[in-house]
Amino acid sequence: MESTAHGLSLTPLARTRAARVNVGDRIFRVVLRLAAGALLLLVVALAAEMLRTAVPAIQRFGWRFLVTSVWDPVAEQFGALPFVYGTLVSSFLAMLIAVPLGIGAAVYLAELAPPWLRPPVAFLVELVAAVPSVVYGLWGIFVLAPLLRTWVQPALGSTLGFLPLFQGPPYGVGMLAAGIILAIMVVPFITAVSREVLLAVPNSQREAALALGATRWETTRLAVLSYGRSGLIGAGLLGLGRALGETMAVTMVIGNRPEIALSLFAPGYTMASVIANEFTEATSDLYLAALIEVGLLLFVVTIAVNGLARLLVWSIGGAVKVARE
C-alpha cells in the first residue's frame, strides 16, 4: 500500500477514488491557469499589437517623432512634441492642485475627522470618482470655461500678468481649464488610495506618539505620514498615471491646437486628445501609424508610472503585514 503525504495508507478503493478526484482537480487547475495566462497574454498582445501597427511611423521618423513639432497630415510630416508637451504640462498642473488636496482630504478622512462623519464623506468622494469623464467635459465646456474666461483669467492677467504663464487673451478653454478639470477628476482617486495607505498604518504607531503627548496633528505628521510616505508617493503617481491618459474631459476643454505656448491661457493639445480627435479621420496608413505611435508612447509612460506606483503602494502594504505578524 502506498502512503499519502499525510502518512495514511489507502485501500485500493480509496486510491482509485483519490486518483479520480485528482483528475477533476487537475482539470480545474488547468482551467484556472488558462484564465490567468489569458490575462498575461492580453497585456502582451496589447503591447505587441500597438507596436506592430505603429511600425511604419517608427521606421519613417525614428527619434524625430519625439522632438519635432510639425504635425501636418497633408504633407505626412508627424512630430509629436506639442502633444507630449501638452500632456506633461496639463498633468503637472493637475498634480500641483490635486496632490495637496487629495492627501489632505485623505488625512482628514483617516485621522482627523469625527468618526461618524468618515463613512458618508468617503462615500461622496467615491461618487466623485464615479462621474464619467464625458460629464466632466460637458461641465467643463459650459460652466468652467466661461467662468475662467470672464472672471479668473482677467483677474490672473491683471495681477500676475508680468509672468509669461498668465499672458495672452482669455479664451476660457486652454491649458488652465484642462489642468483644473484633470485635478478635479484625479483628487478622489488620490484620496481613495491615500486613505487606504493611511488606514494600513498600524495603530501602535499612533499610540506611541499620543503616549508621548503629541497632539492629533503631530501624531499624524510624525507617526502616520512618515510611516506611509512611500505609499502616499505611490498614490500620487497613480493619480499622475490617470491624469496622463485622461481623454474626454481634456479633449473637450483644452482647445485642441498643436502648438507649444508658454502661457496657460493658450489652447494646447494632449497625446490622448489627438488620438480621440483624429483617429477616425486618419486617411493614410502613415497617419494612422503615427497616431498609434502616440498611443504606444502613452502606453509605455503610463505603464512605467503605474508599475512604480504599485510597487510603492505594495511596499507599504507588505511592511504593514510584516509589522502585524
Partner 1 sequence: MTARGRRVVNHVMGGLTALAAGLAILPLVLIFAFLLFQGASAVNVEFFTHLPKPVGEEGGGMANAIVGSLILVGLAAGLGLPLGILGGVYLAESRDRRLPWIVRFLADVLSGVPSIVIGIFAYALVVLPMRRFSALAGAVALAVIMLPIVVRTSEELVRLVPSSLREAALALGIPEWKVVLRVVLPTARAGIITGVMVAIARVAGETAPLLFTAFGNRFWHQGLDQPIAALPLQIFAYAIAPYDDWHRQAWAGALVLIGMVFVVSLAARVATRGRFSGVR
**Residues from 103 through 122 that contact partner 1 (CB under 8 A):** 103-105, 107-109, 112-113, 121
**Shortest Å distance, C-beta 98 to partner 1:** 9
CA 201/CA 205 separation, integer angstroms: 7
**Shortest Å distance, C-beta 200 to partner 1:** 11
Please choose, out of 27-35, 57-65, 88-96, 227-235, the segment that lies near partner 1 by the rule CB under 8 A: 27-35
**Shortest Å distance, C-beta 199 to partner 1:** 8
Total number of residues that touch partner 1 (CB under 8 A): 88
Q: Where are the alpha helices (DSSP H) in 200-257?
A: 203-211, 216-219, 226-227, 229-245, 248-253
H helix count then E strand count, the chain: 15, 2
Pairs from 51-55 (Cβ < 8 Å, separation ≥ 24): 51/296, 53/288, 53/289, 53/292, 54/289, 54/292, 54/293, 54/295, 54/296, 55/289
Report helix, strand or coil for 72: strand
Do the beta carbons of residue 253 and residue 148 sit within 8 Å?
Answer: no
Which 236-275 positions form the footprint of partner 1 (CB under 8 A)?
A: 238, 241-242, 244-248, 252, 272, 275
- The HSE-up count of residue 294 (CA atoms within 13 Å, CB side) is 29
Residue with smaller CB distance to partner 1, 58 or 113? 113
CA 260/CA 262 separation, integer angstroms: 7
Q: Does 215 bind partner 1 (CB under 8 A)?
A: yes
> What dihedral angle (degrees, nearest 10) is formed by the CA atoms of 39, 307, 324, 205?
-150
Q: Does 309 bind partner 1 (CB under 8 A)?
A: yes
Q: Does 86 bind partner 1 (CB under 8 A)?
A: no
Q: Does 302 bind partner 1 (CB under 8 A)?
A: yes
Please choose, out of 57-65, 155-163, 202-210, 297-305, the segment that lies near partner 1 by the rule CB under 8 A: 297-305
**Shortest Å distance, C-beta 102 to partner 1:** 7
Do the beta carbons of residue 251 and residue 173 sit within 8 Å?
Answer: no
Which 51-70 positions form the footprint of partner 1 (CB under 8 A)?
A: 52-53
Instruction: Give Cβ neighbours of residue 72 (< 8 Å, ≥ 6 apart).
Output: 78
**Shortest Å distance, C-beta 76 to partner 1:** 20
Residue with smaller CB distance to partner 1, 216 or 229? 216
Which 166-195 positions form the footprint of partner 1 (CB under 8 A)?
A: 184, 187-188, 191
Which 32-51 positions form the footprint of partner 1 (CB under 8 A)?
A: 32-33, 35-40, 42-43, 45-46, 49-50
Residue with smaller CB distance to partner 1, 95 or 187? 187
**Shortest Å distance, C-beta 67 to partner 1:** 22
CA 275/CA 290 separation, integer angstroms: 10
Which 120-139 positions form the footprint of partner 1 (CB under 8 A)?
A: 121, 123-128, 130-139
**CA dist list (Å): 299 to 49, 152, 183:** 12, 34, 21
Please choose, out of 4-12, 212-220, 225-233, 317-325, the segment that lies near partner 1 by the rule CB under 8 A: 212-220
Q: Does 102 bind partner 1 (CB under 8 A)?
A: yes
**CA dist list (Å): 141 to 251, 255, 261:** 10, 10, 21
